[in-house]
A and B are shown apart, each in its own frame.
Chain A
């Protein structure tokens, strides 16, 4: 403990923001799980109820999270790094758009018909492609068309998967 004494003498302070955040994250998730499973019966060992294991796992998660947060005050570790919203927005947004348009959806007043892969496919490629810093629009458009054609041939015809192509145009 020779070297650590000097550190230790400085008392507890946040020595790893990453670990602290990770610990708090675990505790938050555990809290959410405990809240969601509050009405589930725990049961007995003889007849374990639906709530016993979720609650047990959640408590352990919370415990481990607390330990992690506590350790972040004692040991040095990584710092929390920045967050790239551009990637999150375009990449994940693209996937969500695909999910919403492939068979259509209805959320309240918002209504999108079943557009099928011939529309959803290019949308995914175009939207997600915008996430790259070195995006070239013309190339991306050509690529989107080529990829969609390829995927239609591959998934619909070669593998015969029941995925709608363009029900509004082709009826399939």
Chain B
């Protein structure tokens, strides 16, 4: 007991001066990734954080805290002390979709955290099994509307990127009640798409690009403004006739609200340097990632992106028949 009391006293004594000092960062920084290791967000976090560590002169340790569509990890990150030693890599789902998907959410992505910047955008593709009847996006739209009772859509679970983006698509097509088959993650869903058990799904380019190249599944369109260099033959939704379906699964860094300006500046600068690094650039481009613009790399630009997509998604997600 004495030992505990002593250590408590020591903790208090040391906590105070630590905050007063100004040489950020002087110890390792924890970057919380709210998903399992190996997923798209985790990969981007590890590529970017490795280079940021060099600029900051302190190791950024990636900590995977998975759960509840990523909201468990983000909750922990943005409710931590605003000292710059806990940051998080979240994505479209955790920052823009979560308030509408999870009514009991314990953080406010718009007003309750400090945004640092966007790390990368991941294009979303509409893909289907090889034998699916429609040949292009226009036929797909008519076919799905006409055969809403026959078509099976696959997604990687409520709250996942594929669920969020496909719910948006179904909302825009006016078929919110389409048969949707839930899988635990993208891998099993993709497996059943390849083997033809389900008809179509929406997912991030990094998960589906190789299957498209190998011809095991087909892609109708990419929901970005421009074609992806990784898949130059796949048209954009604008070109293929569904211009209103525009969505990207971006990943970006945020921290608790009230972060000191010094820490924000240093993190923004480190992120920018990382994104200008040739190796990082190459690795991200290999994944099909769209590098963020100058504006999106700033806290304000990233915050605007979160707000824009939240406004786009929340009416559809709140009205979705599930949840």
Residues of chain A touching chain B, judged by Cβ–Cβ distance below 8 Å, are 112-115, 119, 122-123, 162, 168-169, 171-172
Q: Is the CB of B7 within 8 A of A168?
A: yes
B63 at the interface (CB under 8 A from A): yes
B10 at the interface (CB under 8 A from A): yes
- B84 CB → nearest A CB, Å: 13
Count, A-B residue pairs, CB within 8 A = 32
Residues of chain B within 8 A of A115, CB atoms compared:
7, 11
- A75 CB → nearest B CB, Å: 42
A165 to B3: give the CA distance in the assembly, Å: 16
Residue of A nearest to B28 (CB): A172
A119 to B10: give the CA distance in the assembly, Å: 12
Partner of B11, one of A162, A168, A172: A168
A115 to B5: give the CA distance in the assembly, Å: 11
Residue of B nearest to A104 (CB): B11
Known: A119-B4, A162-B61, A162-B63. A171 touches B18 (CB 8 A): yes
Q: Is the CB of A169 within 8 A of B10?
A: yes
Residues of chain B within 8 A of A114, CB atoms compared:
11
Flag B101-133 by CB within 8 Å of A: 1 or 0 each: 000000000000000000000000000000000
Q: Is the CB of A171 within 8 A of B27?
A: yes
A168 to B12: give the CA distance in the assembly, Å: 8
Residues of chain A within 8 A of B3, CB atoms compared:
119, 122
Residues of chain B within 8 A of A113, CB atoms compared:
8, 11-12, 15
A112 to B3: give the CA distance in the assembly, Å: 14
A119 to B2: give the CA distance in the assembly, Å: 12
A122 to B30: give the CA distance in the assembly, Å: 25
A171 to B30: give the CA distance in the assembly, Å: 12
- A167 CB → nearest B CB, Å: 8
A162 to B46: give the CA distance in the assembly, Å: 14
Query: 23 A–B contact pairs at CB < 8 A?
Result: A112-B8, A113-B8, A113-B11, A113-B12, A113-B15, A114-B11, A119-B3, A119-B4, A119-B7, A162-B30, A162-B62, A162-B63, A168-B7, A168-B10, A168-B11, A168-B14, A169-B7, A169-B10, A169-B14, A171-B18, A171-B26, A172-B27, A172-B28
A112 to B11: give the CA distance in the assembly, Å: 10
- B147 CB → nearest A CB, Å: 17
Query: Which parts of B1-38 form the interface with A (CB within 8 Å)?
Result: 3-4, 7-8, 10-12, 14-15, 18, 26-28, 30
Residues of chain B within 8 A of A169, CB atoms compared:
7, 10-11, 14
Residues of chain A within 8 A of B61, CB atoms compared:
162
Residues of chain B within 8 A of A171, CB atoms compared:
18, 26-27
Residues of chain A within 8 A of B15, CB atoms compared:
113, 168
Residues of chain A within 8 A of B63, CB atoms compared:
162
Residue of B nearest to A47 (CB): B179
A169 to B7: give the CA distance in the assembly, Å: 9
Residue of B nearest to A112 (CB): B8
Residues of chain A within 8 A of B26, CB atoms compared:
171
Query: Which parts of B26-83 form the interface with A (CB within 8 Å)?
Result: 26-28, 30, 61-63
A158 to B94: give the CA distance in the assembly, Å: 33
Residues of chain B within 8 A of A122, CB atoms compared:
3
State the 5 A-B residue pairs at the shortest beta-carbon distance, nearest first. A168-B11, A171-B27, A162-B63, A113-B11, A162-B61
A169 to B27: give the CA distance in the assembly, Å: 12
Residues of chain B within 8 A of A123, CB atoms compared:
4
Residues of chain A within 8 A of B62, CB atoms compared:
162
Residue of A nearest to B63 (CB): A162
Residues of chain B within 8 A of A119, CB atoms compared:
3-4, 7
Residues of chain A within 8 A of B10, CB atoms compared:
168-169
A163 to B286: give the CA distance in the assembly, Å: 32
A122 to B1: give the CA distance in the assembly, Å: 12
Residue of B nearest to A171 (CB): B27
Residues of chain B within 8 A of A112, CB atoms compared:
8
A122 to B14: give the CA distance in the assembly, Å: 21
